Chain A
């Protein structure tokens, strides 16, 4: 199975800050990497697919990059509604589809 490792596990930031979350795969996955946002009590939401393609309706302050084994999600100019947990997901070698352990973005 491909293991996905996110860092950091949590971070504190202020409204307006830019933050970057890293996701590393245990083997090369091309660009089969997706990012989801999860808020308590809500369904996960697809933000970015294929490493860098913004899902329809997602604000442009979210961006993704990377290929192979290293990927990043950047939020440029945090807004209050962005405080949530973010998960990466690989779909290159399946089954199983695997997620990272999550990165919690908290208000400083």
Chain B
């Protein structure tokens, strides 16, 4: 199971930190992803963290503004989002992957981020 938190309303240029807690599996052995969804663009992959936190990769649209990290002792993956724009408004999902890019088999229910003044 994955449970996201941390979404909310933030002004343009602001910051937000999302968290996703995993349970029921060996969190430290899985790559974790953040994916966002909007009605207009559908599902868009945002970022990925490898099992030990190394090898973080990002979509071009968020590179330099978002940072993915994890605390395996807390079974938690984070997404620090800075310099937010209205284009970042979306429902953000965390998803479990394999220890390589293959598929995402477990998804959280999502947390909503709204960027608006």
Which one of B33, B41, B44, B103 contacts A46 once the chains associate, using CB atoms below 8 Å? B103
Question: Would you call A34 an interface residue if the criterion is a C-beta within 8 Å of the partner chain's C-beta atoms?
Answer: yes
Question: Would you call B70 an interface residue if the criterion is a C-beta within 8 Å of the partner chain's C-beta atoms?
Answer: no
B-chain residues with CB within 8 Å of residue A94 when the two chains form the complex: 57, 101
Which one of A42, A45, A87, A95 contacts B42 once the chains associate, using CB atoms below 8 Å? A87
Asked if residues A97 and B45 are in contact (CB atoms below 8 Å), the reply is yes
Asked if residues A44 and B93 are in contact (CB atoms below 8 Å), the reply is yes
- The binding surface of chain A is classed by DSSP as loop
Name A1-37 residues within 8 Å CB distance of B.
32, 34, 36
Per the bound structure, the CA–CA distance linking A94 and B37 in Å amounts to: 19
Asked if residues B108 and A43 are in contact (CB atoms below 8 Å), the reply is yes
Question: Would you call B22 an interface residue if the criterion is a C-beta within 8 Å of the partner chain's C-beta atoms?
Answer: no
Question: Would you call A83 an interface residue if the criterion is a C-beta within 8 Å of the partner chain's C-beta atoms?
Answer: no
Given A44-B93, A46-B104, verify A95-B43 contact (CB < 8 Å). no
Question: Would you call A99 an interface residue if the criterion is a C-beta within 8 Å of the partner chain's C-beta atoms?
Answer: yes
Interface size class of A (residues with CB under 8 A): 20 to 34
Name A43-62 residues within 8 Å CB distance of B.
43-46, 49-50, 55
- A interface residues with partner B (beta carbon < 8 Å): 32, 34, 36, 38, 42-46, 49-50, 55, 85, 87, 89, 91, 94-102
- B interface residues with partner A (beta carbon < 8 Å): 33, 35, 37, 41-45, 48, 57-60, 93, 95, 101-105, 107-110
Q: Would you list the 7 A-B pairs with minimal beta carbon distance, nearest first?
A: A43-B107, A49-B103, A97-B45, A95-B57, A102-B42, A91-B101, A94-B101
Apart from A91-B102, A97-B33, list 20 A-B contacts with CB within 8 A.
A32-B102, A36-B43, A38-B37, A42-B109, A44-B37, A44-B93, A44-B95, A44-B104, A44-B107, A46-B104, A46-B105, A49-B102, A50-B103, A87-B43, A89-B43, A94-B57, A95-B59, A97-B101, A99-B43, A101-B42
